[in-house]
Chains A and B, each alone.
Chain A
Amino acid sequence: MASGSMPPSQPSEPSSELAALYRRQREPMVRLARLFTGSSAVAEEVVQEAFLRMHQQAIRPDNPDGYLRTTVANISRSHMRRLRLERRVPEQDRVTFNDPVIDETWAAVCRLPFRQRAVLALRFYEDMAQADIARVLGCRVGTVKSSLNRGLSKLREELS
């Protein structure tokens, strides 16, 4: 029989700023990461890991909210890449709704490559400008523009 897991060693506690950031931003970041990854379960793990990194690296960025958003985007991309799922979200992880329009649209979004999906989410869910999206995703504005156009074109083809 396998034995139960042992508790880890006692860690240092996070700074009050990071604890406040966790309380304020955990839920919004899980929602955003869900749009990046297509999965609630993965989104929770991504956000958890983002906070852990910020804590363990003792990072105190000037703009913690923006830094966190970028970290969540990076971890989401790494996670999807590790799983070789970057170009699509597994169907079993995809949430479904009773609204066929939303189901169809979300299924099509989940079939997009990660960057296109992330750009669309940041543009139409977060209402971010293209320059801001470029900062979050660590790419050029031109890449954001092309990803946006390609993503919209693919969706237009699939949903027409």
Chain B
Amino acid sequence: MTEIDSLEQRLRRTFEAVAAQPVRPSSTGTDSSSAGTDSWWDGGTPARAHRNLRRTVATVAAAAVVAVVALLVAYGPRSSDTNPGAVPAGAPGNSVQAVFAPATPVPQAFVEHIESVLFRRLRAFGDTGATVRTGVGGTIDVTAQNLTPAETHLLGTTDSLYIRPVLCGAVAARPADVSGLLSGPLPSCQAQDETSAANLDVNVRTGVPANVIPPDPGFASYSTTSEAADDPSATVLLAGDPTSGAQQYPRFVLGPAQLTGSAIASAQAQSLGNNSGSDVLITLTRSAATQWDEVAQQNLHQYLAFDLNGLVLSTPLIQPLNSAFVSFDGKMQLSGNFSAADAKDLAAVLGSGPLPVRLVLQSLTTVSTALGTARTG
């Protein structure tokens, strides 16, 4: 009897622990006020509807190499003010009060979703005591301990991660003061400048393309696509992150997104050891894993671009050492010169799901509770 009781207790404890793992918030609206093409009831058959749902919000994947680093630390708060009374006395270290507002008006269901995502991000940052509340005028108020400027910025990003095919490289934009730059629809890449598998002609023994494809000069008159205009369904012209691995070309002409960041099931920072920094291991949802394999197979021996919030982080060549495609099994490794903190922050954002809308930081209050005084953040 004792043995049975012990086993039952063990089972109860185990089930509780497994069930207590975070549940990703629904990536779509939860009531009719948020109806849209990506709502959960969307589509024809359940299976197709689900695939469409995942595709429209979907994700990324495996075994590709991405460098990110400076993106995580290059941004700081946009404004700040002081409000020393906001912090509970006796809290250790610095306390931060950040007030965000959605960049565009959103229905109440989205506000609840936004709060849920922010709370998950804060917990993933390691701030288990953080609070997220709806403030006056629809603002979203965050109170947290020791939130870094990079984390504060990351809190409000939509986590717009798109996997796009690289159509061709592009030269840098001609200086705008010479003549106005064009921002209209982009022209097609010239055939000889396309980074197609045929043009690249990858040598599977060395994993290196036989041909060096120059950047297409026809885009010199076109301005780089802004983050706000980074439409996943459109062809875009983006710059590479200056410190990342996306350095083959000054700019990249990228096709419509094949996957987005919403289908990431989990993301985890891991140390590479030997002072080699850290990377982020991503596990995709099952449907996204299948989609990623389809996309990667279609782009075998070609470049795919990882576009995060309008910057190209990396453009890995897909399986250059394989003559035939091999499944990625729903895994993806984002690696580069990440510090442990950078990798942890990136994993926190990617693993917490996307925000439906970008958040604008309205104010930031940082209070040193040890001194009881406020300072700008």
Q: Please tell me if the beta carbons of A102 and B41 are within 8 angstroms of each other in the complex.
A: no
Q: Which of B13, B42, B46, B299 has the most CB of A within 10 A?
A: B46
Q: Please tell me if the beta carbons of A19 and B30 are within 8 angstroms of each other in the complex.
A: yes
- With contacts A92-B329, A109-B11 taken as known, whether A8 is within 8 angstroms of B285 at the C-beta atoms is no
The closest CB in chain B to the CB of A7 belongs to B37
Of the candidates A13, A30, A99, A125, the one whose C-beta lies within 8 Å of that of B35 is A13
CB contacts (< 8 Å) of B47 on chain A: these are 49
A54-78 interface code vs B (CB 8 A; 1 in, 0 out)? 0110000000000000000000000
How distant is the Cα of A124 from the Cα of B50 in the complex, in angstroms? 31
Q: Please tell me if the beta carbons of B14 and A109 are within 8 angstroms of each other in the complex.
A: yes
The closest CB in chain A to the CB of B32 belongs to A13
Q: Please tell me if the beta carbons of A8 and B32 are within 8 angstroms of each other in the complex.
A: no
Judge whether A35 is part of the interface by a CB distance below 8 angstroms: yes
CB contacts (< 8 Å) of B24 on chain A: these are 40, 44
How distant is the Cα of A26 from the Cα of B31 in the complex, in angstroms? 13
Judge whether A121 is part of the interface by a CB distance below 8 angstroms: yes
Q: Please tell me if the beta carbons of A31 and B17 are within 8 angstroms of each other in the complex.
A: no
Nearest CB of A to B327, in Å: 12
- With contacts A1-B299, A52-B40 taken as known, whether A35 is within 8 angstroms of B50 at the C-beta atoms is no
Q: Please tell me if the beta carbons of A48 and B50 are within 8 angstroms of each other in the complex.
A: yes
Q: Please tell me if the beta carbons of A125 and B15 are within 8 angstroms of each other in the complex.
A: yes
- With contacts A95-B18, A105-B14, A125-B15 taken as known, whether A11 is within 8 angstroms of B41 at the C-beta atoms is yes
Q: Please tell me if the beta carbons of A48 and B40 are within 8 angstroms of each other in the complex.
A: yes
A1-20 interface code vs B (CB 8 A; 1 in, 0 out)? 11111011111111010011
CB contacts (< 8 Å) of A121 on chain B: these are 15
Q: Which of A22, A124, A125, A156 has the most CB of B within 10 A?
A: A124
CB contacts (< 8 Å) of B14 on chain A: these are 101-102, 105-106, 109
Q: Please tell me if the beta carbons of A8 and B44 are within 8 angstroms of each other in the complex.
A: yes
Q: Please tell me if the beta carbons of B30 and A22 are within 8 angstroms of each other in the complex.
A: yes
Judge whether B4 is part of the interface by a CB distance below 8 angstroms: yes
A–B pairs, 9, beta carbons within 8 Å: A7-B52, A8-B43, A8-B44, A8-B49, A22-B26, A40-B21, A101-B14, A106-B14, A156-B3
Q: Please tell me if the beta carbons of A45 and B50 are within 8 angstroms of each other in the complex.
A: yes
Judge whether B167 is part of the interface by a CB distance below 8 angstroms: yes
Judge whether B174 is part of the interface by a CB distance below 8 angstroms: no
CB contacts (< 8 Å) of B56 on chain A: these are 5, 7
Nearest CB of A to B128, in Å: 16
Of the candidates B10, B21, B39, B299, the one whose C-beta lies within 8 Å of that of A95 is B21
Q: Please tell me if the beta carbons of A35 and B286 are within 8 angstroms of each other in the complex.
A: no
Of the candidates A3, A32, A97, A101, the one whose C-beta lies within 8 Å of that of B10 is A101
How distant is the Cα of A101 from the Cα of B284 in the complex, in angstroms? 27
Q: Please tell me if the beta carbons of B44 and A4 are within 8 angstroms of each other in the complex.
A: no
Which residues 281-304 of B have a CB within 8 angstroms of A? 283-287, 289, 294-295, 298-299
Of the candidates A4, A34, A109, the one whose C-beta lies within 8 Å of that of B19 is A34
Q: Please tell me if the beta carbons of A159 and B7 are within 8 angstroms of each other in the complex.
A: yes
Q: Please tell me if the beta carbons of B265 and A40 are within 8 angstroms of each other in the complex.
A: yes
Binds A, one of B253-261, B313-321, B356-364: B253-261
Of the candidates B41, B233, B299, the one whose C-beta lies within 8 Å of that of A13 is B41
Across the A-B interface, give the 10 residue pairs with the lowest CB-CB distance, nearest first: A4-B256, A125-B15, A5-B55, A31-B19, A52-B46, A7-B37, A105-B14, A41-B285, A41-B265, A8-B43
Q: Please tell me if the beta carbons of A102 and B49 are within 8 angstroms of each other in the complex.
A: no
> Looking at chain A's contact residues, is the secondary structure mostly helix, strand, loop, or mixed?
helix
Judge whether B48 is part of the interface by a CB distance below 8 angstroms: yes
Nearest CB of B to A122, in Å: 10
Known: A23-B31, A44-B23, A102-B18. 19 other contacts (CB 8 A): A1-B255, A2-B165, A4-B232, A4-B258, A7-B37, A7-B52, A8-B37, A13-B41, A14-B32, A19-B32, A23-B30, A27-B23, A34-B19, A40-B21, A40-B24, A40-B265, A52-B46, A105-B11, A106-B14
- With contacts A26-B26, A31-B19 taken as known, whether A49 is within 8 angstroms of B41 at the C-beta atoms is no
Judge whether B12 is part of the interface by a CB distance below 8 angstroms: yes
CB contacts (< 8 Å) of A155 on chain B: these are 7, 11
Which residues 243-264 of B have a CB within 8 angstroms of A? 255-258
The closest CB in chain B to the CB of A39 belongs to B286
Judge whether B203 is part of the interface by a CB distance below 8 angstroms: no
CB contacts (< 8 Å) of B21 on chain A: these are 31, 34, 40, 95
Judge whether B8 is part of the interface by a CB distance below 8 angstroms: yes
Judge whether A152 is part of the interface by a CB distance below 8 angstroms: yes
Judge whether A53 is part of the interface by a CB distance below 8 angstroms: yes
How distant is the Cα of A101 from the Cα of B12 in the complex, in angstroms? 12
Nearest CB of B to A43, in Å: 8
Q: Please tell me if the beta carbons of A120 and B11 are within 8 angstroms of each other in the complex.
A: yes
Of the candidates A41, A52, A53, the one whose C-beta lies within 8 Å of that of B283 is A41
Nearest CB of B to A106, in Å: 5
The closest CB in chain A to the CB of B12 belongs to A124
